Amino acid sequence: MFKGRQLHLVKAETTLAFISKEFKLVEALGYALGGFFLANYEGSPAGMFDEVVFVYAKTMLFNATLRLVLVLVNYQRCGRWATRVLGSSVKACVHGQKDVGLSSQVAHFTKSVKAVSGTKRSQFGGFLNKIGMDNM
């Protein structure tokens, strides 16, 4: 079961290195808005599965000024803020569509753990380095 909440600020220049050139990045104060996360569910009504959830920022025109708006509202159905959900099982996707209101689609993907050696970690365990804030 997935528990907890996380917010990761990622510098826009870091994000641009990992996305295709044809995508336009929505950013504010030098940081990217929107993102994705991988959730691993060990126990759920749909059994064990992995899913990748994408959340994209929205732009809107207000009083002739372009303002960047990211709205993550926790309504009763989280499908209102998740733009795309890719699940590793058909049963999980059907559950997400019917019971949670997600735009779930089945996807086959793999995950791996890669050891990183020779890096000195700060008191934050390297977290600030991973999100591009190590020199602040």
pLDDT digits (tens, 9 = 90+) for 47-99: 888 888 777 654 333 333 333 333 333 333 444 556 778 889 999 889 888 88
Q: Is residue 81 part of a domain?
A: yes
Q: Is residue 3 part of a domain?
A: no
Query: Is residue 31, in this structure, part of any structural domain at all?
Result: yes
Q: In this structure, are strands 104-106 and 84-87 parallel, antiparallel, or unpaired?
A: parallel
Helix H or strand E encompassing 95: helix 90-95
Answer whether residue 70 is part of any domain: yes
The pLDDT of residue 90 is: 93
Q: What pLDDT is recorded for position 44? A: 82
pLDDT (average), residues 111-129 = 63
What would the pLDDT profile of 17-36 be if each residue is shown by its tens digit? 766 676 677 777 888 777 77
Look at residue 29 in the predicted model and tell me its pLDDT.
86
Distances (CA, A) of 14 to 52, 69, 73, 77, 132: 20, 21, 26, 31, 7
97 lies in some domain: yes
Task: Tell me whether residue 30 is in a domain.
Answer: yes
The token duo for 59 is 């732009």
CB crowding 107-131: b at 16 or more within 10 Å, else e: eeeeeeeeeeeeeeeeeeeeebeee
Mean of pLDDT values over 102-106: 85
Between 78 and 38, whose confidence is greater?
38
Please check whether residue 39 lies inside any domain of the structure. Answer: yes
The verdict on residue 119 lying in a domain is yes
Unique residue bearing structure tokens 């990622």:
10
Range of the domain at 112: 12-130
Q: How many domains does the chain have?
A: 1
